[in-house]
Structure 1
Amino acid sequence: MPALMEQVVDGPEGYEGVQAGPEWAAEVRRLAKARNATILAHNYQLPEIQDVADHVGDSLALSRMAAEVPEETIIFCGVHFMAETAKILSPEKTVLIPDQRAGCSLADSIKGDELRAWRAEFPDAVVVSYVNTTAEVKALTDICCTSSNAVDVVASIDPEREVLFLPDQFLGAHVKRVTGRANMHIWAGECHVHAGINGDELAEQARTHPDAELFVHPECGCATSALYLAGEGSFPADRVHILSTGGMIEQAKAAKSSQVLVATEIGMLHQLRKAAPGIDFQAVNDRASCRYMKMITPAALLRCLVEGADEVHVDAEMAALGRGSVQRMIAIGNSGGGE
């Protein structure tokens, strides 16, 4: 499809110039079949990327899917640590990300050297890492967790052992609050998008939409405020749900209100509206858009399929160690959703 490829512009903001119409979608599907590739798209991707993908979901679910599908090539439409996780769980497969510059502020909030230094301060502690971390950090981790199983993972650890929880401070605070664990140390990392969804705007939205339900991701800066609203009785507790992205999809199908306020990255609204088309889903903060996720443009995906770019590599020893930390999480019996 030379005519389409001629439109791709490698500008400072990414790969642009291609419209995601029927011609583009047909060419993406043709090229994926020719490459024996499966296209995976995270819930925060652009709607047109989600719609052309073979599978849509959270990062861990997609990485596990990558290991199960028969195709030899995985096109991971998400951010870089997610493609790394797919490579960790599928070392024999080729994993491509449409734009290798698509990073993550949360994963970047802790480096391997920082974790080594932290472990040195607490040599007997158990390191629990959220899956939203780099391959290097996973390799230095005792057990991974997701936002939906973080409480179970921490609760499974000997209560006498100290826990180093990283990197998200809001998820860590949620886990510490639920478990009541005093010997839990939390890294001061955050996702800049979720941290920007604050308690004041959540409270205002709840006040002006008294009949709505609240879906709040535990990475959000407003998660504590949501529980406070429920606790003080200013908003019915049975309509406040602290959920992973995968959990939001399931809860959408069971929602009893005609309107739901959603506190997470706005790309999630596309899948929620598809899951429950009769419900009015509205973002608590309609500016909560991750520019890294949105770097996976229609042009970038087309380029990836035509050129086989950008391939993701993980050192074999690092991958083996990281795979162990993920498998120990799965072994506790509740592998949960991803982020």
Structure 2
Amino acid sequence: MGQCFCKMSIGDQMQIKQWPPWSDLPPDLASNIAERLGPIELLSFRSVCKSWNSASSTASAKIESTRDFEPWFLLYAEDSYHNCRLVTESGKKFSVRLPELDGTTCLASNQGWLLLFKKQGHEGEAVGNCGGASSMFFFRPFSKTKIDLPGCPFLELSDHVAAFSCAPTSRDCTVSVINRVNDYELKLHLLHRGAKEWFQYDIPCSGIGTINCAVYHTEKQEFYFFDHTDRVLIIVSTIHKPLSWRFSRRSSEYSVGLKSDFIVYASYFKNTDMKKKLGLPDDVDVSFSTCGTQRKSGDLDSFVYCESISGDRVEESKSRQLKGIWIYPKFCQVPPKEEAW
């Protein structure tokens, strides 16, 4: 008797064959795939399952070792659905959901970490780790890592400007926040890694205007606070030395040049044509408040200025108010034991 063959459709063959789940993908192969992805794609990859998350834990090393990255721009607090817009250095746009940024103001950005302030909740609502008080915390959007800071020393923002020395996971990290008390005095708030309370200092300031930008000089271990003219307040604060400060003028020492201490990027929002990259028409009247960022660039520290860009209307209160952050795409995961200050 001859054999009878029955031709099966592709669909029938797929139903018979039991394909293994994606979570069974060999770790070496999953890791190989992850290393070829950018930060945004890596976020999606890591969220598939625990095994992919584990296999891709070191995938950011290639991205973070790239020296030529320009900062990305993160537009946040645009709506009540926690949706943010992220624009890469090439102008590519992504929509990301970051509920952690809801109700916050970014005070500083460094090495992919954000220092965020969140005002006291309405009607005594508990916020962060400070009960009913306002709070400050570090947040890394690309890895969703959050590090709460102990009791915030102020309830609301009043021209506060901040910088931090290095990643908050480092035991050498120092947070520095400053604001003007009156025409003659500044209030400096300092917090060292592991400390439970802030140190506060009163600094006479008759010779400096409104401070609008801060940066940390890595080699000199000094905080630089710039006003809107040519004055700079330099704070020396290390764990092993008593606090000291001095005033100086912004000269060739702090500007771009062969003898520069910093590579400075001013008017970066306008120079990068960011409004157009965000897809906002020219006839849409908006005002932007942007937080700058810092990174090590060869032997120099480079930083992007904080900016306030007014809308076209005479009455700024009628313009649409948007907030943005310049941030470098850092993604490295933080061990759980380092997520506590």
TM-score where L is the length of structure 1: 0.32
Bigger helix fraction: 1
Max radius of gyration: which structure?
A: 2
Bigger strand fraction: 2
Which protein, 1 or 2, shows the higher relative CO under an 8 Å CA cutoff with sep ≥ 6? 1
TM-score where L is the length of structure 2: 0.32
